[in-house]
Structure 1
Amino acid sequence: MQEQKTILTEKAMARTLDRLASEIAERRGENENLAIIGIQRRGADLAERLKKLLDQSLGRRIPLGKLDINLYRDDWTNLTRQPSINCTEIPFDIEDASIILVDDVLFSGRTVRAALEAVLDFGRPRRVELLVLVDRGHRELPIRADYVGKKIDTQDNQHVNVLVRERDGDDRVVLVS
């Protein structure tokens, strides 16, 4: 039987997103070319929440995009099932923009590598910064997040599940052993 331990409750997750939005506003709030791109699926959901928080705190509308990285994965030919393809929607020019790339969990770094490749197919942003709700370590590539909600130490055989109300009807982060 699998054990589950709650890492972030609904309230803690909301506080964490508030803090992350404040960090972005502090570092990049003056930048008029600030935009957010969420990695499909749960990264896109979190990006939408961050956008709302930033729109409110900065008093302007921050452009929001959604990015599907499945065709950029380096393991798609080894998967036992076909990847689920989601849509990519980047309705703004990323040329010279400061992009906040949002994902739910940072693990090996391979998803972020694929996302960077996908973003560069749309143009050359001024900078790309990575925001993750959870950093669980175990990197296989030299990638680190610029904004981290919670860092936890995990074992290779454990999983971190981020549940969001938009998809799962619940907000919380669970460590599964």
Structure 2
Amino acid sequence: MSLPNPDQLIREMAAALNQHLAQRGIATPRFIGIRTGGVWVTEALLAALGREEEFGTLDVSFYRDDFSQNGLHPQVRPSALPFEIEGQHLVLIDDVLMSGRTVRAALNELFDYGRPASVTLVCLLDLDAAELPIRPDIVGATLALGPDERIKLLGPSPLSLERQALATSL
């Protein structure tokens, strides 16, 4: 199975997001990318939408429920939200939705900053492996992988997808 072209997915997602926001009467959404792949997707999506605006970035490392098991990733950077969260219509963007735990952590962090009016979840890929009841409002593609496979987004420019095999321990 070949992997989809991220640029094509971004164009389709931009059209779907415009329609989604228009149906809900959201004229001034605030965009937030989850570090790192979600930030790359946010940049590409904003370009496809023809929008040049400042967006927020989240590093959810401290909010992950597996933090005590896995420890801190060595490249943790602070989140940057250049606008108020309270009362805003947010578009939360990630690259790959797998278990849903990253999105749950992002929502927990966002609510520590305030109560948004709404959150629209946008993901480049949904791997249909949810452990939590979290589904994107806008998704580029849904893929089913084998238990020993993962997808990695490479970027930031150009964006590309890579299938990876997990190392098996004997």
TM-score by length of 1: 0.84
Q: In the alignment, what sits opposite 1:156?
A: 147
Q: Which of 7, 10, 20 is the aligned partner of 1:14?
A: 7
- Measured in 1, the distance between the counterparts of 2:54 and 2:119 equals 14
Unaligned runs of 5+ in 1: none
Q: Secondary structure at the match of 2:115?
A: coil
- Measured in 2, the distance between the counterparts of 1:24 and 1:72 equals 27
Q: Which of 65, 72, 85 is the aligned partner of 1:82?
A: 72
Q: Which of 32, 35, 38 is the aligned partner of 1:40?
A: 35
Alpha-carbon distance change, 45 to 171 in structure 1, aligned in 2, over 3 angstroms: closer
Q: In the alignment, what sits opposite 2:48?
A: 53
Displacement of 1:62? 4.7
Q: Secondary structure at the match of 2:66?
A: coil
**What RMSD in Å do the two structures reach over aligned CA positions?**
1.8
Count of aligned residue pairs for this structure pair = 162
- Measured in 1, the distance between the counterparts of 2:156 and 2:60 equals 22
Q: In the alignment, what sits opposite 1:176?
A: 164
Paired AA for residue 126 in structure 2: D
Q: Which of 117, 120, 125 is the aligned partner of 1:129?
A: 120
Contact 1:161 1:174 in 2 (8 A): yes
Q: Deviation per CA, 1:116-168, whole angstroms, max 9, x where unpaired?
A: 001111111111111111111111111111111010111222111111234xx
Q: Deviation per CA, 1:1-33, whole angstroms, max 9, x where unpaired?
A: xxxx6512xxx2111101111111112145233
Paired AA for residue 137 in structure 1: D
- Measured in 1, the distance between the counterparts of 2:72 and 2:26 equals 40
Displacement of 1:51? 1.8
Segments of 4+ in structure 1 off by > 3 A?
60-63
Q: Deviation per CA, 1:20-56, whole angstroms, max 9, x where unpaired?
A: 11111112145233111000011011112212222x2
Q: In the alignment, what sits opposite 2:168?
A: none
Alpha-carbon distance change, 165 to 85 in structure 1, aligned in 2, over 3 angstroms: closer
Contact 1:6 1:172 in 2 (8 A): no
Unaligned runs of 5+ in 2: 166-170
**Residues 82-161 of structure 1: pairs in structure 2 closer than 5 A:** 82-83=72-73, 84-161=75-152
Q: In the alignment, what sits opposite 2:17?
A: 24
